[in-house]
Structure 1
Amino acid sequence: MFGIENYLGFILAAILLNLTPGTDSMYIITRSVSQGNKAGLYSVLGIVTGILVHTVLAALGLSIILANSPLAFTIVKYIGASYLCYLGFKMLTSKSKSILSDSLPNNGKLVQAESLNYRRIYKQGVLTNTFNPKVALFFLAFFPQFVDSNYAHG
């Protein structure tokens, strides 16, 4: 079916892998808890966009460079780790309060949380996922198991 071997196995494996928490899940949960559901949603959209970047790179064969070049893998790994450290540092040193502490009663009205930059949250989600070399290597290891090698030839 469409060049895919064991389609049901692929669907089941993809569902199980998506339900397994990882760094992306922790990023989304942290954003949601500290900045609210809307920030969490924009984080999800950014992560999904990063996954689409990896999908395109894998389809074009560019992800194999990370698998075959220790230098390229190390560079991407350090860029990703540095970016995550930067985000963590920014969150720790940020002067803004969390949404939970900003939603205190004030004469019977709720105080509105300061406006969040959702474009920035989305962009951070994209970069967090795109610069995670483990995602690229996962795509290289996972998808070929389900591709019918005879499909392109016949």
Structure 2
Amino acid sequence: MMISLETFITFFTASLLLGLAPGPDNIFVLTQSALRGRGAGIAVMFGLCTGLVGHTLAVAFGVAVIFQTSATAFSLLKYIGAVYLVYLAWMSFRASANDLATNGNGDLSRWKLYRRGIIMNITNPKVSIFFLAFLPQFADPARGPIWIQLVLLGSLFIVATFLVFGTIALLAGTLGQWLNRSPRTQTVMNKLAGTVFLGLALKLATTER
């Protein structure tokens, strides 16, 4: 077995707890689920988990080291992510209550939310650096190629994230269905989401390696 049962249990438990800790990704799932319903939250969750696939492969094949050692690469990626969050904030502030109900995109709304999840996750260099520091702690050279173990561990982390974010999406979506009955409440929630996005953008822009 590439990963021992003890390592599996310890790593998976730690991953669940990390997924529950307040952060940009689960806040993003929470706000989008409350604003647009459970389906939107699930779409965002799949996007975020897809981004984690990219981070897992980056760590497994050494690309993440670039962001750990290069201040320029780290800064470039984080500023791209911050600008994107500002864009999402602007979209939230200018949306009407009717926009919330339809998302202004018809059948494309879920796909666009999925893409937002990918971009939000993949443009956060802290995730790659976190994976670079976290995953190797559970790899054992005696159990086979390290890169395969890192891919397996990253996959377990994604499963844990899927469970946590999925639960958040379902709970917040149920609450959102009740809140969205009032156009005034929808507008307030949209402004709140915009404020959250601005806060996340500021946090990402000022983060250090």
Please state which band the TM-score falls in when normalised by the shorter chain: 0.7 to 0.9
SS of match in other structure, 2:141? coil
List structure 1 runs of 4+ shifted beyond 6 angstroms: none
Are 2:126 and 1:124 aligned? no
- Asked whether the equivalents of residues 24 and 47 of structure 1 are also in contact (C-alpha less than 8 Å), the reply is yes
- Asked whether the equivalents of residues 50 and 127 of structure 1 are also in contact (C-alpha less than 8 Å), the reply is yes
**Distance apart, 1:33 and its partner CA:** 1.0
Match of 1:59 in 2: 60
Cα distance in 1 between the residues matched to 2:61 and 2:74? 17
Q: In the alignment, residue 127 of structure 1 is paired with which amino acid?
A: I
**Greater helix fraction, Structure 1 or Structure 2:** 2
**Distance apart, 1:97 and its partner CA:** 3.7
CA RMSD, Structure 1 to Structure 2 (Å): 2.1
SS of match in other structure, 2:43? helix
Match of 1:104 in 2: none
**Distance apart, 1:149 and its partner CA:** 2.8
Which residue, 129, 144, 152 being the options, matches 1:137?
129
Give unmatched runs, 5+ long, in structure 1. Answer: 100-111
**Distance apart, 1:3 and its partner CA:** 4.8
Distance 1:132 1:113, change over 3 A: closer
SS of match in other structure, 1:98? helix
Are 2:138 and 1:146 aligned? yes
Aligned residues: 141
**Distance apart, 1:6 and its partner CA:** 3.0
Q: In the alignment, residue 85 of structure 1 is paired with which amino acid?
A: V
TM-score (normalizing by structure 2) = 0.62
Cα distance in 2 between the residues matched to 1:16 and 1:135? 16
Q: In the alignment, residue 142 of structure 1 is paired with which amino acid?
A: F
**Distance apart, 1:16 and its partner CA:** 1.1
Match of 2:153 in 1: none
TM-score (normalizing by structure 1) = 0.82
